[in-house]
Chain A
């Protein structure tokens, strides 16, 4: 953890970690006997579901919960469903998880293989959602999408994370295929690749449309890339016009079409309590304790398991949490290291205002948010200009969980807006 320096005249500058110069190939974690799959749909006990305990699924088979389900999860293995249960995720999002007992014999479902010769956005969206890197295929397939540009990001959007940089470095010679494939399936010709300045010097990227991102922390966040490098103004509260696709997602698409089947092995960087990094590939759905046991990472009571980076990640409460398509980094943090939030009020020290890259008046904003005045916070304190970097909480002298308040505020606002829209539709 980077502590405050003795000299505090200016706001601290946090640097992102760079991928090591000559990275080792990641260790492959074997497919475990039990897999856990998450479906982004609440389980409804009244409705008849398409799947039930004991059902057999093939590798590559898409699992839908109900007849009219929009979302699906692709089974990474052949096996039998042994449990279906509801689960509540972040911000009370209801989802469903399935436990899959892996078969020794692996049959592959073939319906995608027939379509793989003609890549297009429809079949990509139909079969390849949730491949490693989590490409935003649903949004791209939506005919009403506003995207006119694609940025393949080879930079990580948090401190300590290096997975995307690794994938970009590892598959640098194949990146032109990813660009061509994305052009073909989306019809968007303006595709650029965001990478660190050091990587942009590599000859392999010559002649490509590059975005050179500085190594300081917030430069790699999508709104910043848009405003600083692409010259597209960021409009608070509106969806981005640029589609950001992690480089791993782009490479997974290439592999899926070349191998004529969906792919499941996610690259994950694991950082243990001593700061040692290990990179592994694990099948999506592998419970993370399998990875920890395999590479010898120990966890103790009251540690923190962080999925993602230290400033924007989420804390997992169980080691049975499965590997997800967008899980780039896993950090184990010892219990003593974790900062505790306090219930002190804002003392107006001004550090957050100084460090905020969006120039949000955080000192006032937090007062509105603490009082639950979300609409007022958006109207008079620029809540929606926040780009979710977490730096205000990092420097807060009073240790107020500002970032949590901000995300809660945005979440509540979105809920309010969607309620208004549904009401308007009903009238």
Chain B
């Protein structure tokens, strides 16, 4: 027999839609850009430094862990970069460098790598990192104190902290349009509500996040805050104020959607999002923390495996009517 070509042999299918983890992560980072760029514009080069350091250190931690655990270095999929970017967006511009490096260590190594790396994390890694930092050095995340040296031409108060300490009269200090355009104190990536919504809508349209979670989360916020608000308007702020303050929008479009810690079935996604929104407002209104987004997200991450068990009957299983 004559000389033969060697052909590639593999299992079907021989087509792929061309998507990859790298493309997905690049899209998430691109979607986070409007909010991040605004934060850099608002808080200056310090913010740029924080974002760069957190992305770089997150990638470095992953590479180091891969080396230590003798696994191929996978930082080119930008998974760690996304974690670093989310971390940076949730940090104030004045966060010290060591806190960034510690925080990304907690996010990447404790939050993800020890669970087996990408896809194995039960919680959103960036949220784990920030939460532990808040518990350990809460002064860093006291936005009023942290951003004391900045001069702004708007009310220089962190809205949720002001609400907690001074009551609902402060709500009038923050016109909604102004809040949405980023005129508030907060972390680098969370102040520019319109930018986060644009990024979130982009990801939804591209199909990189599950819109059901974002919608349910926001609905959960609105409904719960509205119920509080109508029972005692003098004590509880209105729902729209809650939407555009703190980490709410970041949570709805970037944090609660982190794929491996969120459900994939339709009904669970709605339950997951709604509980997230509900708990956020519950912690804000009744709890002792000004913002409850991060803890609410960690809590729904914990619920995820349980509620994701609610799923449709598979083809041919169960009653005859179930077969479409």
Contact = CB atoms under 8 A, between A and B. Distances in A.
Interface of A: 1-4, 6-10, 12, 159, 223, 227-228, 233-236, 299-306, 308, 310-320, 331, 333, 335, 338-339, 341, 344-351, 353-354, 357-361, 363, 382, 385, 387, 390, 393-399, 401, 403-404, 407
Among all A-B residue pairs, the 6 with the closest Cβ atoms? A8-B207, A350-B264, A339-B16, A358-B315, A382-B314, A404-B11
Given A299-B5, A312-B13, 10 more contacts: A7-B207, A234-B323, A317-B7, A350-B264, A354-B264, A361-B311, A387-B315, A390-B13, A401-B10, A407-B11
A9 B17 contact: no
5 contacts: A304-B10, A306-B14, A310-B13, A339-B15, A394-B17
A396 B315 CA distance: 21
Nearest to B79: A347
B151 interface: no
B267 interface: no
B317 interface: yes
Given A1-B15, A236-B314, A345-B118, A315 B265 contact: no
B8 A397 contact: no
A69 to B, nearest CB: 28
B19 A344 contact: no
A299 B323 CA distance: 44
A303 B14 CA distance: 12
Nearest to A311: B13
Central interface residue in B15, B314, B324, by most chain A CB within 10 Å: B15
B15 A311 contact: yes
Given A344-B118, A350-B264, A385-B317, A390 B12 contact: yes
A385 B314 contact: yes
Interface of B is mostly: loop
B14 A333 contact: yes
B16 A304 contact: no
Contact of B117 (A333, A345, A407): A345
B229 interface: no
Contact of A335 (B8, B12, B317): B8
Contacts of B313: 359
B251 to A, nearest CB: 18
Contacts of B14: 304, 306, 310-311, 313, 315, 331, 333, 338-339
Given A236-B314, A310-B13, A385-B317, A395 B19 contact: yes
A318 B8 CA distance: 10
B204 A9 contact: yes
Interface in B5-29: 5-21, 24
Given A1-B15, A358-B315, A390-B13, A338 B8 contact: yes
